[in-house]
Structure 1
Amino acid sequence: AHRGFTLEALLHFYAQLENRMPWFDPTRSTTADVVRAAIIPASRAGAHEDMQDLDVALAVAMMGGATTLPDRMVTHNWSNLFCDLVAAVIADALEIRSYEKIALQMRSGMPKLMEDLADRHLLGISYWICAFSVNQHKGICSSASTCDSVTGLQHGTCECSTPKLFEGVSCEMDKFDHMMGYITQQNPEFRQVVAVDAEFQLFRRAWCVAELVKASDLGIQQKMKLHSDQKLNLHYKKLENVKVQKCLASRPEDKVLILSKIPSYTAFNKELRQLILGNMQSWIDATEQ
């Protein structure tokens, strides 16, 4: 829960990304690609002077080991373009509803964008993003069956000795609901940012829809960031048929866990659709004003 990191730290990571991942392509490289090629190696023991003896969540290293309670949590899918994820976070900081233009600006250069954010005193906003805030060395780092979107080569693996924990008390990947409740108690202004990918695949991911409903149940303010009006018009109809039991998860066990916490699929799906469509309608109304 205390693994937030500032917008400034995120943008610094993005600006240096090509040094760690020379083949990074903002129009093709996904968040999953960046996790495998940059985030996991950068969070290895010895990768940072402050973290010499530990394999950590990168968020810890990004903040120099300081604990940081986040102002906002970002719900996102790893198949989204990493550039678009970061653009959605910037759109949230700027209170802009869509991120397409920001993503285009990022591709042409970061210095001017960072200067604008600094002038508005927005670089200190802190975020919690699972790719950075979960210790990947306690989970997925040692195995990979997927391929990089640019090179076509299988993602690399990590040879660290950190024990892998996919369930139980020490597992970090199945505690999002408890974490959200804890942060809300500590920070009443805490809010959820929903970084919706251009193809709306987020609404087919089991963890993502579970986080949406949990945030709503906890009374957490939710802000959806969409790619553009055009993408909304293209995919809006799909949202009317979202069902949690048809959603996907990287590990079958995760989907089983998520579904086991839902007493009634019918009631959950009704709440989910109302929540998504309601947020989308609010987005449309605000855009038209």
Structure 2
Amino acid sequence: RELTLSRQRRQTVCRKLVKTATAVRCLAENSVPVGGLLQFLLELHSGEIMAFDPATSTTAQVVFQAIVPLSAHTASAYATVMNAGESHFPDVMVSHGWGNQFLRLVAAIVASANGDAAYWLWLPVLATAAGTRQALRTLRPDA
């Protein structure tokens, strides 16, 4: 049996698809460069944004105690704030777990950007402000 849609229904479906595609594009443009992520980690290490503990702070804690407050005044994503309102498409997609240690997420991203297979080798480096500054200096230019 062939499925036929009324003209009105087809138009409704098309509008929803366009709206969805627009939303996906907006989300896709919210990328954060690795250097920007490391700069943010330096801010976390300073303790001025939140009580950040590299060994225990989760991604959820960092998002709700640091990222959301830093971008709330703009009603924009933090990536938009970090990129001064400019859109950037990412080179890779990163997934995360809200309950995981934020430092592990950052270490995995830095390792991947540097072509390293072992993210855990970055953990002691990124656990301190001095190590994070060193990571910024040694980051590949194309990362």
TM-score of the superposition, structure 2-length normalised? 0.74
Code of the residue aligned with 1:116 in structure 2: it is T
Runs (5+) with no aligned partner, structure 2: 1-27
SS of 1:12's equivalent in the other structure is helix
SS of 2:94's equivalent in the other structure is strand
- Structure 1 residue 66: deviation in Å? 0.2
- Is 1:20 aligned to 2:49, yes or no? yes
Runs of 4+ that moved beyond 6 A: none
The residue number in structure 1 matching 2:75 is: 55
- Could you tell me which of 114, 120, 134 is aligned with 2:136? 114
Percent identity, aligned pairs only? Answer: 37
Code of the residue aligned with 2:109 in structure 1: it is V
- Could you tell me which of 21, 35, 47 is aligned with 1:8? 35
Post-superposition Cα deviations, 1:58-92, rounded to whole Å, max 9, x if no partner, equal: 00000000011111110111111001100000010
The residue number in structure 2 matching 1:192 is: none
Question: Residues 1-289 of structure 1 correspond to what in structure 2 (within 5 A)?
Answer: 1-17=28-44, 18-21=47-50, 23-45=51-73, 54-108=74-128, 109-117=131-139, 120-122=140-142, 125=143
- Structure 1 residue 2: deviation in Å? 1.0
TM-score of the superposition, structure 1-length normalised? 0.38
Give distance in 1, aligned partners of 2:91 and 2:33. Answer: 9
SS of 2:60's equivalent in the other structure is helix
- Structure 1 residue 41: deviation in Å? 0.1
Code of the residue aligned with 1:73 in structure 2: it is M
Code of the residue aligned with 1:38 in structure 2: it is A
Post-superposition Cα deviations, 1:99-133, rounded to whole Å, max 9, x if no partner, equal: 1110111113211111111xx314xx3xxxxxxxx
Larger radius of gyration: 2
Runs (5+) with no aligned partner, structure 1: 46-53, 126-289
Code of the residue aligned with 1:112 in structure 2: it is Q
Code of the residue aligned with 1:42 in structure 2: it is L
The residue number in structure 2 matching 1:233 is: none
Give distance in 2, aligned partners of 1:8 and 1:94. Answer: 12
Give the strand-richer structure, 1 or 2: 1
Aligned positions, number: 112
Query: Larger relative CO (CA 8 A, sep 6+): 1 or 2?
Result: 2
Give the helix-richer structure, 1 or 2: 2
The residue number in structure 2 matching 1:189 is: none
Code of the residue aligned with 1:15 in structure 2: it is L
SS of 2:93's equivalent in the other structure is strand
Give distance in 2, aligned partners of 1:37 and 1:65. Answer: 22
Give distance in 2, aligned partners of 1:55 and 1:83. Answer: 26
SS of 1:79's equivalent in the other structure is coil
